[in-house]
Amino acid sequence: MKKSILFLALALLMSIDYATAQKQVGSDKNVEFTFAPLGGNPIGIQGIRLRSFNSDGTGAIRLGLWIGGTTNVDVNTQPGIIEDDQPELLTTDRSFNFSIRPGYEKHFAGTDRLSPYVGAELFIGMGSTSTEEENYSTNDFDDPDNYVVWTETSTDGDMTIGLNLLTGFDFYFSDNIYLGAEMGFGFSSTSIRDGEFEVSDLDAFKIANGIPEDTDVEFDPTINGSNSAWGPNVQGTLRVGVLIN
């Protein structure tokens, strides 16, 4: 249903009289949004890009931005399963992502409504995830009936740096309004941050895992690695932009 609505909207936009269409003429500013028409969430915004054209409209400095996150809460244990007075226990997953893409475009003559270009952009991105799980057990070695709620939390993250050579086009279907697409060839390197683990109640953790009371417990980071990739890439998104003179 969402895809049908989206394609209907695009059809209506494309029906606008092309006689009024005008592409950049120089010193224009540009606000642009990207979305994935064939993805699972076709009307969701995939990012925002700003562009500033030079005086004759043949070159543009660009800056792409994305920031977002998720929080997902699940009930891992229903009330009263472990003990009669045991509350509802939750598992909470969180994520956060941020990226910035500075770059430059060189535009060619094309046609009155078509503006093809080549360019390059640098990609810097970072993300983090965490999982917090609630438990219910005793935290007293001398009183096994002293039940409390305590949590185990795992966190990790990554950072990516990349460079992308690209080509694309802007098609102006109305005055200063366009659709565009883009593809490129690039390289990226991702460093995965060491995983960390912590608990809110160390005694409860020891008892739950059968660790003697007088044992020193330290949670060493989980050492992770890195990965890299290179090759052609096709952006699975369409770009919709507006020029601001």
Distance CA(47)–CA(99), nearest Å, equals 9
Which pLDDT band, with edges at 50, 70 and 90, does 2 fall under?
very low
> What pLDDT score does 21 carry?
67
Closest of 97, 98, 128, 124 to residue 192, by C-alpha? 128
Distance CA(167)–CA(160), nearest Å, equals 22
Tokens of 161: 């740096």
Q: What is the Cβ-side half-sphere exposure of residue 48, based on CA atoms within 13 angstroms?
A: 9
In whole angstroms, how far apart are CA 223 and each of 118, 160, 220? 40, 17, 9
Characterize 208-229 residue by residue with b for buried, 16 or more Cβ atoms within 10 angstroms of its Cβ, and e for exposed: beeeeeeeeeeeeeeeeeeeee
Tens-digit pLDDT profile for residues 30-57: 898 887 665 555 555 668 899 999 999 8
Kindly report the pTM of this predicted structure.
Answer: 0.80
> What pLDDT score does 236 carry?
65
Tens-digit pLDDT profile for residues 180-233: 989 999 999 999 999 999 999 999 999 999 999 999 999 999 999 999 999 998
Distance CA(132)–CA(196), nearest Å, equals 12
